[in-house]
Structure 1
Amino acid sequence: MSVCAYLSTTAYTAYAQSRLQSLEPNIPADSKLMLSANELVYDKDAERISAVGGVQINYAGYKMVSQRVEYNQKTGRMTAIGNIELVEPNGTRLYAETLDVTDNFANGFLNALRIETTDNTRLAAESAERIDGRDMVLNNGVYTACLPCAKHPERAPFWQVKAQRMVQNGEKHTIRLEHARFELLGHPIAWIPVLEVPDQTVKRKSGFLFPRMSQAQNLGFGLTVPYYYVISNSQDLTVSGTGYTKQGFLLDAEYRQRLENGTFSVRAAGISQMNEDTFSPGTSDSEVRSRGLIQSKGAFQINPRWAFGWDVMAQTDNNFSRTYELNGDEYVHTSTAYLTGLGKRNSFDMRAFYFDIQDASLTSADEEKQAIAAPVIDYSYYAPQPVLGGELSIDMNFTNIYRNRADVYSVDGFDRFRGLDGRMARMSTEAEWKRTFVTPGGLLLTPILALRGDVMNVDMTAPNLIDPANYVYTGGFEGSDANTRGMATAGLEARYPFLISTSNSTHVIEPIAQIFMRPDEPLAGMLPNEDAQSFVFDATNLFERDKFSGFDRIEGGTRANIGLRYTGSFDNGYTLNGIFGQSYQLGGKNSFATDDLVYAGANSGLEDDVSDFVGMIGATTPFGLSLAATSRFDKDNFEPMRTGTTIGYGNDRFQTSLTYTHIEPQPKYGSTEVNSELQTSGRVKLTQYVSVYGSLTWDLNNDVVSRRSVGFTYEDECTIFSLGFTGKSDVANTAANDWTVAARLSFRTLGDIRIGD
């Protein structure tokens, strides 16, 4: 019994001494010791217990092997000699040649120490000493997060830090490197007096983060030094100070807190500029000396179905955030708040929007032209049980917007009123029922019934009152009154899919025909159009009952849609799919030929009784090549009016894509010239760790490369290095031409060094 007790103490001592992550071992009181050795000797006179030859000790999940282990009762010291390896329950491994510790675990020595943690951090030292049960001091040590080369383990790792003295504090969970030099590929490149990093047990640790650098024409060279402060397990604060050679010191602080059901943050930043004259005269950058912002974000999960959150920002002027890239180079910052709910067969979404235009012009009214939307509510419901054997769905939308100034402009003689000043509130409800019947011959017939109603209150300035000398609207306008409208639709869809099977492929060909009967669109062109301005007629919406993108417009009149859908699958891995068709206005007023405030539907291919042809095709291959193309063809001469084609290829080492876009002029819709563009991008993995990439955008109209970029990346398990160049050209304003160079160097467990973004 006494021998077992002594050996238990020995193993416990070895474990406690080697454990670098905490002060006290977490071993249950009823843990049992398992010992295996070639020879076990108890010297009663010398009061020494020895385990010799192939010693293996398992204790409370800890495993240790050594050639010899001795425990001296008189001196209270335990020694282990020869090829010591200890594995902790968390996976950390410790290797040493000799170990000598006291039985109170407070002091001890190790020689030829090597430590491998679970996150592949590695420490090695000629010798190590444990002091006062808290610190582990390693002499002439090496620290790295790189794995050794599998083929040549004797080579130096990609990077390492050699220090005369390394101190791992078990209380603070830090590793302090003193009198250190940083080596890259075995060559010293920097001397560091003191460097302190957290050990692998730390998820969050207060301290300075790696600095960031930047360069801008009006700001000069910038150096950002962030300090990260852990307030509690659920709170932290990052304070960053940036010194600009031309503008002075910018202070940026962000507080974050995690609660039981979500997180939120509050950020504040400010600067008192030293040299406003470096900016262009007459801009907000040059006119405002003291600049700042406050911003907050939040996201909370109320329960499994409901969530709410926000992202709001307020600043002293209209360009501070963009000038100093506090939220990147965004031209529009959208402040929003939301509440969402998701059920099994219904959904609810309520949001508020404010669009902050980042513009340096003191006279710009772009922000006042943006609508303030609060709230916008969407609700969708699908009946859980069939209604008359079919599917019943209900969609509701409530929109309330306000605008301070009208958004109007002229293009090629057409006046477009993108937004009117004033307020509009609209409530829309739409119900749809449909059921599919299968005839004995395989024909699929789907009757569709829809009913919609809108109630709205409009208090906006009529377009002809904005600037009668410059802008004219001939569509009539119900600008300051309560209005209602409704729409009833009866439709029928017929599909006849048939399958063709061969010995190595299957093909599905499906002719589709639809007809929708309904009255003319009520108040067409006489109401504001805020959410249905964007419209593109293509194969994706050929078979839509209402092709408008929003609620402010309703498709009216009797319309038929006819097309063919094809899907093919081949045993060798090839797939094909495609759609081709046309739409016909059979009766009533064509909504797409009825001009509204923004000419929605004009030049779309649907404005005539017989529409343009639309088609889409896609193909994939088993070796990584893919094709996707969509196009609209003129109904008279089959000339392409709008085309988008993408060819892509990818495998483990190479990815590339080529996209061609062509759009004919749409003068009523604001585009007076042909738009043709070619975009290509690619990435090549030269080795396991090295990749090069590039992209090019070619404006075919003006025969100019409008954007290009090139760069390379090195990335292994411990290091990331990337360097990239981007150039932009503006045909309309050559002063806007710009180029940037960005670089990033990241050492795992140490931090990042960034230049640019």
Structure 2
Amino acid sequence: MMPLTLAALLLLPTPFSVSFAQETPSTELDLSKEALLSAEEVTYFNTEQRVEATGNVEIVQGERILKADKVIYNITADTVRAEGNVVLMDPTGNVLFADNMELENELKTGAIRNFKLLFTDNSRLAAHDAVREDENRTVMTKAVFTSCEPCREDPNRAPIWQIKSEKVVHDRTEKTITYRNAFLEFFGVPIMYTPYFSHPDPTVDRESGFLAPTVFDSSTLGYGIKIPYYYVISDDKDITITPTFTTKEGVQMAAEYRQAVESGDFQVDGSLTYVEEVDNNNIETGEEAFQGHIRGDGQFRIDDGWVWGFDVFRTTNDTYLEKYDISDLDTLTSTLYLQGQRGRNFSLLSAYSFQGLTEDDVSGETPIVPAWWNYSFVGEPNSFGGRFSADADVLAIYRTDGQDTDRFSLEGGYHVPYTTSNGQVITFDTSLRGDLYYAHDILANPDDPSSATDQNDFYGRLVPSASVEWRYPFVRQAGSIRQMVEPIVEAVWSDVVGDKDTPNEDSLSFEFDDTNLFGSNRYAGLDEVETGARVNYGINMGVYGASGGYTTLLFGQSYNFSDNTGFANGTGLEDQFSDYVARLEIRPADYLQFVNRVRLDHDSLYLARNEVTMKLGTFDHWFNLGYVYLRDDPNGLTQDKREEVFIEGKTKVADFWSVYGSYRRNLVDGGNSIDGTLGFEYLDECFGFALEAKRSFTRDRDVEPETRVSVKFRLLPFN
């Protein structure tokens, strides 16, 4: 083999693109660059102005490599010809195989015979021949494309699917690849014919076209099919339009619009249908009406410290989202916000609107929050390590039928941490908050939102608070295991000076658990205040492995020095000695996480609350378990016992085959199923198929228990 360097000799031919999903090898001869040629023999014919290289010819220019049995460069005719076992590798990783190829006319036109193209994603395109008519148009005949890998046992066996076409045209100006008289074959059997088919060329990141359809059978909607169409509007925006055709409810039109702007991005989706109205018993009323939804979110940067955004979700009917399998939320929340942070200052101005979807929701009593401003400042630590803080809160709540409330709160605090020489951690916190309320149409009965009167009044109060927390962590190293035991004791005092019966808007729900065992106020929000002196105490233990695995346990209780704690029955804090709360978390490795959170009755040690979550498995095999038990649910509509279990999982049963499912069941009063899903999925490098069955066992007004079976196909890389 004789290597030599030749200026502008036997470089790769002109650009040529035949790809479906990847950039095709650039075969351009650059006469201004040098190439490294190695061959068993190189002959220069001076009279004919021709150079021939034979025997294991290899030409390297940068990251581009051409191999062939023989390469001929005719200087006079300006042609380059590669013959025998031609292999061309380009910088992108694509590889072209051919019997021979020849280019002429300043390398702008020419032909390649019997070639195969292997893309970096293992897609394959083969053709009997290809003719480059000009620098922007290439025509291939008898072409076949597939993204399926050849069968290992029988490489000559037909792939799962392939596209055969008499003629394929690549237009570099329009950036399209077009098929004429194309057949889609499965396992070598033609199943669909189209006289015309087109897709984007490799230089296009996004292109308009149909996405994979979904066919389903629903006991509520009947037989149906979803046919999404993806449309590229411009480089920064696109839209997906999805008509859904059903035999019982007609046509539903849905769309999702996405756009990126210089300062951020947003997306909005919605749907609309025109159907026969029904009452709560699912009996037709004889009238027709439009039903639909709108949902969207976005965030935009104003400068380095400020952003604004929105999150909107609304529907025309309470049961519409459930009927069309869009969402299972009971309350829809829409918000608009302006958020800023500069150093140690944080500010958030927001507005909220809510839509309740349960049968008991009354729209006039649902609050609207036109303005809610939160401000927080944390000062620099002083020489003692202490720091000051300041917080402000301004809230306005409006209802079309019920009490309206305006609130202004201002709080100042001081925080001092201290660590002794032997490792004890002592933290001192004190704060003073002032609240001013103005209530309009005051409720005669605070527990009855419909008992609004025509009375208005101001309320004012001061909320002083002080706490001291002591922690003493003991740590022990045993080989690669680190053990930790940390007793915790916290003394807290707080009170209300002024009006005691202020409006309560943001502290309506309450739950005592491990997350609020320690703290000066266990209520959510500002309206309700935990008063009096109390002591919170517990122990935090943990075992930590060198590889990242760990097991932790927190156990504790609270004691109130007053007989009247101010908490309702069932909360776990109604007595001087509170219920016991605990959290056990076990995570020995990434494939297993177990969390058990409990609340035990302080007298009988019966379970008042038990919540279990477990995640087990890998990407191919995983299982999740969720269980919750509440002896009394003080936040529920009936305050009755609640017990529910939820399981879901997925397992790979064979190469490319998976089974997945989920199930949720109510365990109270003998129990009843809520919903379940079972699906089978096949997915390889070129083809996907999913069969899914979903069952809802509950009824919500006009939405009766439903069974839905759906089928979805995917041809990769089409969708």
Report TM bin, short chain: 0.7 to 0.9
For the residues of structure 2 that align with 1:645 and 1:563, how far apart are their CA atoms?
21
Comparing 337-346 and 109-118, the one that deviates more: 337-346
Task: Tell me which protein shows more strand as a share of its residues.
Answer: 2
Distance 1:83 1:391, change over 3 A: farther
Matched AA of 2:122: N
Partner of 2:350: 351
Q: Distance in 2 between matches of 1:572 and 1:79?
A: 59
Pick the aligned partner of 1:482 from 444, 454, 458: 458
Larger displacement relative to structure 2 (325-334 or 68-77) = 325-334
Structure 1 segment 158-237 matched on structure 2, within 5 A: 158-216=160-218, 219-237=221-239
Aligned twin of 1:536: 511
2:615 and 2:327 mapped to 1: Cα distance? 30
Q: Distance in 2 between matches of 1:676 and 1:269?
A: 35
Distance 1:211 1:723, change over 3 A: closer
Amino acid of the structure 1 residue aligned with 2:588: T
8 Å contact kept, 1:31–1:60: no
Seen in structure 2, the aligned counterparts of structure 1 residues 684 and 511 have a Cα distance that, compared at 3 Å, is same
CA gap of 1:284–1:198, structure 2 versus 1, over 3 A, is: farther
Q: Is the 8 A contact 1:395 1:429 kept in 2?
A: yes
Equivalent in the alignment of 1:308: 308
Residue 45 (structure 1) shift:
3.3
Match of 1:336 in 2: 335
Q: 1:238 to 1:623 in 2, by over 3 A?
A: closer
Q: Report what 1:427 is aligned to.
A: 408
Aligned CA RMSD, in angstroms, stands at: 3.7
SS in 1 for 2:520: coil
Measured in 2, the distance between the counterparts of 1:170 and 1:668 equals 64
Partners of 2:711 and 2:374 in 1: CA distance: 44
| Residue aligned with 1:11, SS | coil
Residue 542 of structure 1: how far off its partner (Å): 0.7
Change (3 A) 1:571 1:270: closer
- Specify which of 89, 103, 114 is matched with residue 112 of structure 1: 114
Are residues 354 and 26 of structure 1, via their aligned partners in 2, closer, same or farther at CA, if it must alter by over 3 Å? farther
Per-residue CA distance 1:274-294 (angstroms, 9 max, x = gap): xx2688788899644355666
Q: Partners in 1 of 2:394 and 2:652 — Cα distance? A: 51
- 1:417 corresponds to which residue? none
Query: What do the CA deviations read for 1:156-195 (whole angstroms, capped 9, x no partner)?
Result: 4443222233322222232223333333344444344433
- 2:11 alignment partner, SS class: helix
The C-alpha deviation readout for 1:474-517, integer Å capped at 9, x for no partner, is xxx99622322221112211222223444564322221111112
Tell me the residue number matched to 1:712.
680
Q: Is the 8 A contact 1:279 1:286 kept in 2?
A: no
The number of equivalent residue pairs is: 712
Aligned 8 A contact 2:437 2:502 in 1: no
Contact between 1:355 and 1:367, CA under 8 Å: does it hold in 2? no
- Out of 640, 662, 672, the residue aligned to residue 629 of structure 2 is 662
Q: Which residue of 2 aligns with 1:493?
A: 469
For residue 395 of structure 1, report the CA deviation from its aligned partner.
3.1
Q: How does 1:623-642 map to 2 (within 5 A)?
A: 624-642=591-609
**1:129: how far off?**
2.0
**CA distance in structure 2 between the partners assigned to 1:628 and 1:268 by the alignment:** 38
Q: CA deviation at 1:430?
A: 2.7
* 2:589 is aligned with 1:590: no
Letter in structure 1 aligned against 2:346: S
The answer to whether the 8 Å contact 1:557/1:588 transfers is: no
Alignment partner of 1:263 is 2:265:
yes
Structure 1's 547 and 495: CA in aligned 2 closer, same or farther, altered over 3 A? Answer: same
Cα-to-partner distance string for 1:522-559 (whole Å, 9 max, x where unaligned): 544x2332222221111221112211111221221111
What residue is the counterpart of 1:57 in the other structure? 59
Structure 2 counterparts to residues 397-436 of structure 1, below 5 A: 397-405=393-401, 421-436=402-417
The structure whose RCO (Cα within 8 Å, separation 6+) is larger is 2
Matches within 5 A, 1:463-482: 463-464=444-445, 480-482=456-458
CA distance in 1 between partners of 2:357 and 2:292 (Å): 14
- Aligned match of 1:380 in 372, 376, 381? 376
Which amino acid in the other structure matches residue 512 of structure 1?
I
Q: Counterpart in 2 of 1:721?
A: 689
| 1:197-244 CA distance string (max 9 Å, x none) | 223332122344444445555654444444444333223344444444
Residue identity in the other structure for 2:355? D
Matched residue, 2:389: 393
Alignment CA distance shift 1:290-1:548 (3 Å): closer
Maintained 8 Å contact 2:86/2:100? yes
Q: 2:278 touches 2:284 (CA, 8 Å); kept in 1?
A: no
C-alpha deviation, 1:63, in angstroms: 2.2
Distance 2:545 2:241 in 1: 59
- Residues 67 and 88 in structure 2, CA contact (< 8 A), matched pair in contact too: yes
- The 8 Å contact of residues 141 and 164 in structure 1, kept in 2 or not, is answered as yes
Higher deviation after alignment, 137-146 or 648-657: 648-657
In structure 2, do the counterparts of structure 1 residues 214 and 545 end up closer, same or farther at CA, with 3 Å as the change threshold? Answer: same
Q: Is the 8 A contact 1:23 1:134 kept in 2?
A: no
5 Å-filtered alignment, 1:15-34, equals: 15-17=14-16, 30-34=32-36
Q: Any residues of structure 2 matched to 1:75-154 within 5 Å, and which?
A: 75-149=77-151, 153-154=155-156
List per-residue Cα deviations over 1:355-383 (Å, max 9, x = no partner): 23457x8xx86333321112222233322
Q: 1:556·1:589 contact (CA, 8 Å) conserved in 2?
A: no
Choose which of 434, 444, 459 in structure 2 pairs with 1:453: 434
In the alignment, is the contact (CA less than 8 A) between 1:510 and 1:565 conserved in 2? yes
Q: Name the structure with the higher helix share.
A: 1
Paired position in structure 2 for 1:371: 367
Alpha-carbon contact 1:723-1:741 (below 8 Å) kept: yes
Unaligned stretches of 5+ residues in structure 1: 406-420, 593-600, 752-757
- 1:519–1:588 contact (8 Å) kept in structure 2: no
Gaps of 5+ in 2: none
Quick one: distance in 1 between partners of 2:33 and 2:480? 65
Relative to the length of structure 2, the TM-score reads 0.87
Counterparts in 2 of 1:252 and 1:96: CA distance versus 1, 3 Å: same
Match of 1:322, SS state, is helix
Question: Counterparts of 1:644 and 1:281 in 2: how far apart (Å)?
Answer: 35
